[in-house]
Structure 1
Amino acid sequence: MVSSDLINSFIEDNVYNEFHLKKEKKIKALRLVDITKRKNPYLFRAKGIDNASDLIRSIMEATVSSGEETVFGNFMEKVAIYTCEKAFNGRKSSARGIDLEFEYGSVKYMVSIKSGPYWGNSSQKSRMKDNFLFAKKVLGTSGGLTSQQVVFVEGCCYGSDAKPDKASHIRLCGEDFWSFISGGNQFLYQDIIEPFGHKARERCELLNEMIDSKLNLFTAEFVNLYCDESGRIDWEKLIFENSGTRSNNHYSW
């Protein structure tokens, strides 16, 4: 069984580079065009935003938060793989749609790691099941099923599921998932909450300073580009820059 101290040390050593630093790099690399062209201007108009600084702040917050779960989810996946590596010699899987694989006794486990039980829509969940079927087919073709039973697992880093048996696979969430990949550490799911907060306040303060600086620069640039002489937002110009055609072919029906 893997100790919580070992996993906590791994999180403390890596949470900055894998999460906070990636957010900082994203903020530093942002340009005004990145946030005005990738977000829905109709939404912000519907929210009644007519102040340039408020508009930029809303778009910035949406932009920063949109990739936050993905970045953090990728780190959680690494924590899970590291945990399983120490418990069962687990490893990153090369199979399509499979994140982790390991053996215990005569059973081979192939795990798709998700953030929580509500991670995707029906088509995405169907694709996961297709990936399980494809991996089973590949293993059968290569002879990998002759000596081993293969169990597919949907592993959710948080949440719970009272009925884990999904016929095509097993879904383990929260405590059940972390206990499963750690070799039986039932307290791991609670213990790892602490190191995620390691120096989090200081790093968030630094990030907010960076965001404020970008807001000042972007607001000035936005006013120059998308506000009329009276200082009002020129929504027609903004929507043209966001959604006007870039094609030489104009379609009419």
Structure 2
Amino acid sequence: MQQITQEIITEYVEKNIPEFHRNRIEKLGKLELKAVLKRKNPYLFKVKNIVTASNFVETILDAYLSSQEETLFGGFLEGLAIYVCRHVYRGSKSSAEGIDLEFEKDGTKYIVSIKSGPNWGNSSQIKRMKDNFRKAKRILGTNTASSPNVVAVNGCCYGRDNTPDKGEYLKLCGQRFWSFISGNENLYTEIIEPLGHKAEEKNEHFLEEYGKVVNKFSLEFMKMFCDTSGQIHWEEVIQFNAGQV
């Protein structure tokens, strides 16, 4: 076991976080108003009494980007977790289906499926994860004679779950997860500072591109759904989103 230091984490973050910011801007640039409109609930926006095109556009854009960024950043955190575990316990990216990380600690082989937060999936997705755990356990149980004890773990990078023992697997969230893969109970807070490296500079660039998209979408929205007085025709918005083709 080796100690993980903030300098080591900072080195990883500085090398890999730019990809997260590039992907944010790239996905933003590829968006089309019609595609975003079709994925959001227009009734909700009417209930919120949105009366301007720019406010409508910002609302649907923010809702869409939030889910996209959650996915992108989840991938970054998964990579960071594997990197930390590789340094501390010689963990590695698993080749087994649905398993992100595997490593040995105190005579036990751990197989880990990494998710962003605790509320990540429905019952069918959890069932699939459990099936993947069973398959990986069977393979490792027969091929790894030196480590017959195999424990499955659903690791969540943030949040809490105060009943970690789920029977077939452990669910370790937030502090429990980062401590589990690093041996450092405070790592979950120590990674905050490196994550903020050049965040202001990167986000300024993103906000510039975001402003361009808001202006572009607002103009398109007004042409499609507003009359000459500037009033939104909600019936047309609903028809576009939910009407039969």
Aligned to 2:211: 212
Aligned to 1:235: 234
CA distance in 2, matches of 1:218, 1:160: 38
Residue 104 (structure 1) aligned with residue 109 (structure 2): no
The alpha carbon displacement at 1:6 in A equals 0.9
8 Å contact kept, 2:86–2:92 = yes
The alpha carbon displacement at 1:23 in A equals 0.8
- AA of the residue aligned to 1:186: E
Unaligned stretches of 5+ residues in structure 1: 247-253
Unaligned stretches of 5+ residues in structure 2: none
Aligned to 2:53: 52
Identity %: 51
8 Å contact kept, 1:157–1:174 = yes
Number of corresponding residues: 242
8 Å contact kept, 2:140–2:150 = no
CA distance in 2, matches of 1:83, 1:221: 46
Q: Deviations over 1:132-186 (max 9, x none)?
A: 223223445xx2265421111111222344443322122222233222212x233
Three-state SS of the structure 2 residue aligned to 1:194 is helix
- AA of the residue aligned to 2:133: F
Aligned to 1:203: 202
8 Å contact kept, 1:2–1:83 = no
Residue 66 (structure 1) aligned with residue 96 (structure 2): no
Aligned to 2:130: 129
TM norm structure 2: 0.89
* Greater mean deviation of Cα atoms: 94-103 or 118-127: 118-127
Instruction: From the superposition, tell whether residues 112 and 197 of structure 1 become closer, same or farther in structure 2 (CA, over 3 Å).
Output: same
- AA of the residue aligned to 2:12: F
Q: Deviations over 1:51-83 (max 9, x none)?
A: 211111111111111211111111000000111
Aligned to 1:176: 176
Aligned to 1:250: none
CA distance in 2, matches of 1:149, 1:113: 20
CA distance in 1, matches of 2:83, 2:23: 20
- AA of the residue aligned to 2:228: E
Which of 13, 16, 22 aligns to 1:14? It is 16
CA distance in 1, matches of 2:78, 2:33: 32
CA distance in 1, matches of 2:175, 2:56: 41
Aligned to 1:154: 154
Aligned to 2:118: 117
8 Å contact kept, 2:4–2:87 = no
- AA of the residue aligned to 1:33: K
Three-state SS of the structure 1 residue aligned to 2:143 is coil
